[in-house]
Structures are given as structure tokens and as C-alpha cells.
Amino acid sequence: MIRNVVDKRALEAAVVDAQRAVAEFDGACQWLAAARQGPMEPLAAEVWVFDGALAQVLLVKHRWRGWVPPGGKVEAGETPREGASRELFEEAGIQPELLPEPAAVAVRSYHPDYPVTLGLSYATVVDVATPFVAEDGQPVAWMRLDEGWESYFPDDSFRIRQHAAWIAGRVSHH
């Protein structure tokens, strides 16, 4: 088996979700179109979990990335959306329904020694009283959107805040 080959179903789902994403960063759709021509690094997926008031986001304390949304590598045989849901369950012990529109698509490296890959972010809203079950060594906590947090990805707080505002705008118009 060849390593680092993203399967066709995952790649097709990633292309659709990348095009449907509310926000695109780093020229991600153009990057994906070019990257599809050769062997790709595994895709990444994460979930932005908001409380009902859209004032907090649930983050996981990664051992060296700091506070980041629950997420990780999309495994063989799953779409990015399925991978995001699985990672959320593994890291926080919850399985809420993800919002239909992907929140964002970006191109980034998840480790200084790794090449860049496509990362898809999905969103969900859960009750703030929802009990979480953290993975060993990776605490889970609510972080206020109006305060910053230590992260390997400093743009995340702004991007996540922007998406909370987008959701709030959609909810208030219904």
C-alpha cells in the first residue's frame, strides 16, 4: 500500500466541502486543485464547537500546539466531515450533528517538519452544560471568543470569531 495517498471518496468530498466552505483561507481551493495532481498528504479536519450563545468555543489542549479545535488526520475510507466527527468524539466524547455548511478551508502545516495539507473546519452548536470526556493528556475547555488563547495557529481565534458572527447573523434572520 502506498503511504499518503488520499482516497478518491475523501478527495471528492474535500473538493465539494472546500467549495461550499463559508470562508476560504490561503487560496485553499486553488491549492487543492494543484495538489490533486500528485500524491497528497493526508487531509485534516476539525470541529469548531460553539455554545448556544455563540460566546465560547470548545478547545483541546494539544501537547505542543496549545489550544486548538478538536480534530486531526482524515483516515482512509472516511470523508473530511466523517473524520471531523470521529476526532470530536475521540477528543471530547461528544457526537453532535455538524452544521451543513463547512465553516472554513485552509492550507497549513500541522507540524514544523510536515508539508502543508488541506484542512477543513466544520462547526456545531452544543449546550454549554454538555458533559465532555477528554482524551488522556488532552484537556478540553470552553474558551471565550472575546479573549485570546495560546495556539500554534494564531489566526484561529479571529477565524473562529468570524464564523460565530456568521452563524449569529443567520440565526437572527430566521
pLDDT at position 173 is 60
Helices then strands, each counted (H, E), the chain? 4, 8
Residue segments in the chain with a per-residue pLDDT below the cut of 50:
1-3
DSSP for residue 70: S
pLDDT at position 122 is 98
Q: What is the pLDDT of residues 106-124, one digit of tens each?
A: 999 988 898 899 999 999 9
Global pTM reads 0.93
All domains in the chain, ordered by first residue: 8-172 (3.90.79.10)
For residues 47 and 103, what is the distance between their CA atoms, to the nearest angstrom?
A: 9
| Largest distance between two CA atoms of the chain | 50
Residue 24: closest CA among 143, 108, 112: 108
Mark residue 157 as left, alpha or beta (left: phi above 0; alpha: psi -120 to 50; beta: remaining): alpha
pLDDT at position 5 is 58
Residue 21 near residue 163 (C-beta atoms within 8 A): no
